[in-house]
Structures are given as structure tokens and as C-alpha cells.
Structure 1
Amino acid sequence: MALDHATLEAAARWYVDLRCDDANQATRDAHRHWLEGAPAHRQAWERLIQLQERFERVGPGVARPTFSSARLKRREVLKVLSLLLAAGGTGTLAWRTTSLPSLVADQRTATGESRSLRLDDGSQVKLNTATALNIHYSPSLRELHLLSGEILVQTARDAQARPFVVHTREGSIRALGTRFIVRSDNDQTQVCVLEHAVEVRTATQTPPVRVEAGQQLLFSQTQAGSLQPASPNADAWTLGMLVVNNWRLDTLIVELQRYRPGHLGCHPQVAGLPISGAFHLDNIDAILENLSSTLPVRIRQFSRYWVRVEPA
């Protein structure tokens, strides 16, 4: 049975209403009455539940969207859920192309956007491009769930002496009175400590690894790599800059892709060209033009959202 948009949106609305803090028995009874009103209602609801079950299999920290402020972002949540539900019977297409938990996160930035937050305890968080973050403070713990992207955290002293922990798919980082960067992508998390230290524990509960100021660590769900010296310019993005020293060109292009919508590629023949410099991240197209004037490359633009660096 084909499901119309109104039915899909109604299912999304019920989903949000039932997960709000003020959901009561009357709301649940009304939802049950709606389900029984038409076969299409139940089919739409089952499709939504299939999507939710798919998200719950991803892992702790990213499984369930957080709706603690659902009333404040109801329109956004409904739009996202309706779009995902309309993707198909099981939502497979939507699952491959977007992440519902990220789209309905407490805080998120678009591609090329950054934002600064001040948390309830005075801690400060800077979100880099395409970042999604959930925030949960309880009487015993201060928690951030980084669903995707990159953040810089500067913790504040807490009057209740609650631990400060950042979770990703791959594990958790416990702050030890510190300033640090966490980046999560490609099934790996990288933590770079700028001040003091953190303790890193992978998702498989291996013994924690202490990372001191001036060090960085890359880890997956099952293992932590070796401690490495931190990049001296790891936090340059907080100033809108990218500073590179003798990078491969394809590595630079992959990094620039994070800040530009669409596809940005690099031809294998020029992938290994070395490059150093400081680049302003607010104009990626200008960076690409500069590459063509300093390296033996040309910028081939198939469309506004499909660009490749090729041999000149």
C-alpha cells in the first residue's frame, strides 16, 4: 500500500509526541486510537519503528535520537522524519545517505559552519563543520555524545565534582581538567589534548589510555593506536584556518571536502604532490583556484557540486 505524505507526517508527529517529556496516558490513548483508524496508519507506524530499530543497532551513544527539547525543534524533527519515512518501505536508502540521530541532535552545524556553545556548568564547546552533538547533564555525570564531526572542549570546574565524558561510536574520553579536541569519522575517533590530560577507553572496555597535553591518539571500537605528538595547528580550525605542512595533495582535498558541499575529488596522477600553507576555510573555491596557480593542476568543475583536481 502506497503511503501518502500526510499519513507519514502524522506518524512522525506521533513519534515525537510520545517521546516528549510531557507525554501522558491521554497521549498514548489518542495514539492507539489513531493506529486503529486505518490500515495505512499502522503501516506508516511500522515503517517508522523499523527505522528506529535500524538506528538502535548502530551502537551506544548514537542509537536513539534525543528529544529533550522536542517542543523547541518540532518542525525540524517532523520534516526529517517525514523525509526518511518517505524514502521507502524499510528506509534503506535514507539510512545510506543520512543519519537521523545526527539530523535531530541537540546541536549540529552544517557543512562549512562552526559554532561556539557555553554549557550549564561553564564549560565551552566549539563545533566544527558538519558536526552533530547531544548533551546530557545529570546529577552524577556531564556527558557529550559526539555523533559525527569535530569539537573542541574546554571544561570548567564543576561545583558537584561530576566527571566530564565525551562519547563517540568508538569509545569514551574522560576529561581530567582539560582542553582537548575530539574528531569522529570513518569508524575512528581521534583525540588531541591541548592542556592537561584525558583518559580514553574504547567501546570494548579495554584498559584506559592516558593522553597528556601535546599528544594525540587514534582509536577504534576494539583498539587504541599508539600515542603520537599532537599537530601544533590542530586547533587552527577554531580560527577558521587550515594549516598544513608537507601534506599530500589528495590528503588536503579530503580535508577540504569536509567544508564544501558536494563532491570534491583528486586525480591519482596528482594525488602525491606535496603542499604546505595556511588556508582560510571560509572560501574553499578560492583555495582551489590558488592550487591551480601554484601546482601543475587544473580545477575541473562538472557542476557546482562536483569538482575534481586534475593534471594541468
Structure 2
Amino acid sequence: MSAQRLDRATLEAAAHWFVELRCEAPDPATRLAHQQWLAGDPRHRQAWERLQRVQGTFAQVSAGVARPLLASAQAKRREVLKVLSLLLAAGGAGTLAWQTTPLPALIADQRTGTGERRSLRLQEGSQLHLNTATAVDIHYSGQLRELRLLSGEILIETAKDALARPFIVHTGEGSIRALGTRFIVRRDAGRTRVSVQEHAVQVRCSADLLTPVRVEAGQQLSFERASISPLQPANPEADAWLRDLLVVHDWRLDDFINELQRYRPGHLGCHPAVAGLRISGAFQLANSDPILANLSSTLPVRIRQFSRYWVRVEAA
């Protein structure tokens, strides 16, 4: 398997193991669990080897960069896990992302950690809500109101602007222009999804900025740099995270676990043998441990936990 195909969850799990083994005094059970994790999937060992290569570059980084990272590893466990995840995702040869990009998610104007959500009012009165693991830059000028979503998910409620400046959200795949509206933008894995709850937006992909697609209330679509998918009905519960809820109706279990993973530090996986089971309900996002515990009482599954930061749902 190519190093570039390692998924974020696997890399983040490796980062958690790194911090747990380096910054604490691990007991034999923890070390054994780490070895079991390494042996459980070839991608785990590949991720661990990549982490070791990145670790070896720390001594080459300027002291002004390296020391804050290592200090954060001791003082703020979760912060370092996010930093390590970004470093690991930078490249298979141990190349540090800031050599070509100044770790944009870490220096974004507004960002949230895993499981964190935040709301703020922008200068002209628009409301911006950030979901878990989100990074966004904000730029207002005399001509435009602009946001750049670097990662994660935001909900925007635009306000009327005295200067009549357009409100535009940019992502790596294109842009969304608000038409007096309430809408959600989510970005991951080179794809942006837009879901409109009030009024409408115009979507343009990077390869065709001259041909916008209008998305009305109750509709959603996804787009990449070179293409825009057909319009679909929007999920009416797409904004449930504002109420700290994950609401699903007849979802596949693996899709549910992948969504829950966004709100939980470490690795949360689903074995292919149970991936097709169906699940419905409203789940509190503040603490995912009870959600996982209850799965085994409603579905023929068990929860296998090597550590707090590596959990997999398997057949009972």
C-alpha cells in the first residue's frame, strides 16, 4: 500500500500512541496493546514507521518551532495530537508541511479541536458556527466578505450588509456565494459539500468559475476542483451538531462510525463484517463512550478497545 493512501484516522491513532508511550510511563499492558495495534493492520505499522521518520526531523527544525510542539505534547495532549496528525499527513518521506505550507490549519483565524464546537458573530452581524476539527480564515475588505474553509465544517447565517458586499466562502475546490441565506459547508478529502437551509447559494468549482450552479433551500450538492455533482435533497438534520446531536436515519454502521470518529480523538473503526448493519437514532456528541457501549445492546456487535484512543466495532 502506498504511503500516500494512509487515512487520517490511522495516522491520528499512531500519533496518540506516540504521545502515550513518550509522555507517560506506560505499563506492560499499554505496551502490549500498542504491539497488538501494530500487528492488527499493515497500515498501522506503516503509519508508525512514517511517524518515526517525522520524529527524526524534529532536531532539524528551528528551535522556535520544535520547542512549542514538544512543550504542547507535555502540556496539552490533544493539541499535540492534532499537530502530529498534520505533520504525519504532510508526506511519506517525513517532510514537514511548513516547509511548503505554514500549517494553515494551526494558524487559521478560527479553529476548533476534535469534539469542540464554537459560534461567533462576524463584524457586520453574520453568524459563523464551527463544527469539530474545523479551521477557517476570515477576510473582510471594502468590496467582499470572504471566508476560506481550510478543513472541517461551518454553518453560516448571513446578515444584511450596509455596504452590500457579496459573502463568499472559498475552499480548495471552488467557492460558494451566499444569496441571503443559511447554509452549511463541509470539506474533507478534496471534496466540498454544500447544504442550503434558507434561500440559496451559487456554487462554482475551480475549473469552471464562469458557470455557477444555484442551490436552493432544501438542496445540497458536492463538488471537486473539476466537477460539481447533481443536486440532491438536503439532510434535514444536517445542522443537528449545533445542538450537540448526531441524528441518523437507517444509516450503514460503518458510515455512522466514520461520522462519530470526527468527534472523538484517536482511532474509531468498524470491521467489514458488521459494516452493513443499519442504525437510526439521535445521539449525544458530548461523550461518545456511552454511544459505543449501547451499540452492543442494540446490534450484534462488540466493542474492542486496545486503549482509550484505539477502538473498533466488531462482530459479537
The reply to whether TM is greater than 0.5 is yes
**Alignment: residue pair count:** 240
> How far is the alpha carbon of 1:103 from its aligned partner?
0.8
Q: Which has the higher contact order (CA 8 A, sep 6+)?
A: 2
SS across alignment from 1:216: strand
Q: Distance in 2 between matches of 1:7 and 1:264?
A: 32
Q: Write out aligned runs for 1:292-303 (5 A).
A: 292-303=296-307
SS across alignment from 1:102: coil
> How far is the alpha carbon of 1:11 from its aligned partner?
7.6
2:188 — aligned with what? 185
SS across alignment from 1:100: coil
Equivalent in 202, 205, 212 of residue 208 of structure 1:
212
CA-to-aligned-CA distance 1:17-68 (integer Å, 9 cap, x gap)? xxxxxxxxxxxxxxxxxxxxxxxxxxxxxxxxxxxxxxxxxxxxxxxxxxxx
Q: Write out aligned runs for 1:86-235 (5 A).
A: 92=95, 100-206=103-209, 207-235=211-239
Q: Is it true that 1:8 corresponds to 2:11 in the alignment?
A: no
Q: Distance in 2 between matches of 1:99 and 1:248?
A: 38
SS across alignment from 1:287: helix
2:277 — aligned with what? 273
Cα contact 2:305–2:312 (8 A) shared by 1: yes
Q: Is it true that 1:255 corresponds to 2:309 in the alignment?
A: no
- What amino acid sits opposite 1:112 in the alignment? G
Q: Distance in 1 between matches of 2:251 and 2:66?
A: 46
> How far is the alpha carbon of 1:205 from its aligned partner?
2.2
- What amino acid sits opposite 1:265 in the alignment? G
- What amino acid sits opposite 1:197 in the alignment? A
> How far is the alpha carbon of 1:186 from its aligned partner?
1.3
Q: Distance in 2 between matches of 1:212 and 1:199?
A: 9
SS across alignment from 2:104: helix
- What amino acid sits opposite 2:271 in the alignment? H
Q: Is it true that 1:306 corresponds to 2:298 in the alignment?
A: no
For the structure 1 residues 236 and 3, does the alpha-carbon distance in structure 2 shift closer, same or farther, using more than 3 Å as the test? closer
SS across alignment from 1:193: strand
Cα contact 2:124–2:161 (8 A) shared by 1: yes
Q: Write out aligned runs for 1:65-84 (5 A).
A: none
Q: Distance in 1 between matches of 2:66 and 2:254?
A: 41
Q: TM-score, normalised by structure 1?
A: 0.72
For the structure 1 residues 120 and 12, does the alpha-carbon distance in structure 2 shift closer, same or farther, using more than 3 Å as the test? farther
> How far is the alpha carbon of 1:7 from its aligned partner?
7.5
Cα contact 2:146–2:168 (8 A) shared by 1: yes
> How far is the alpha carbon of 1:192 from its aligned partner?
0.3
- What amino acid sits opposite 2:245 in the alignment? M
Q: TM-score, normalised by structure 2?
A: 0.71
For the structure 1 residues 305 and 11, does the alpha-carbon distance in structure 2 shift closer, same or farther, using more than 3 Å as the test? closer
> How far is the alpha carbon of 1:9 from its aligned partner?
3.0
SS across alignment from 2:156: strand
> How far is the alpha carbon of 1:152 from its aligned partner?
0.3
Identity rate, percent: 70
**What stretches of structure 1 of length at least 5 have no aligned partner?**
14-75
For the structure 1 residues 4 and 270, does the alpha-carbon distance in structure 2 shift closer, same or farther, using more than 3 Å as the test? closer
Q: Distance in 2 between matches of 1:4 and 1:188?
A: 32
Q: RMSD value over aligned CA atoms?
A: 2.7
Bigger radius of gyration among the two:
1
> How far is the alpha carbon of 1:281 from its aligned partner?
0.5
- What amino acid sits opposite 2:127 in the alignment? Q
Please identify, of 163-172 and 99-108, the stretch whose mean Cα deviation from structure 2 is larger: 99-108
For the structure 1 residues 311 and 6, does the alpha-carbon distance in structure 2 shift closer, same or farther, using more than 3 Å as the test? closer
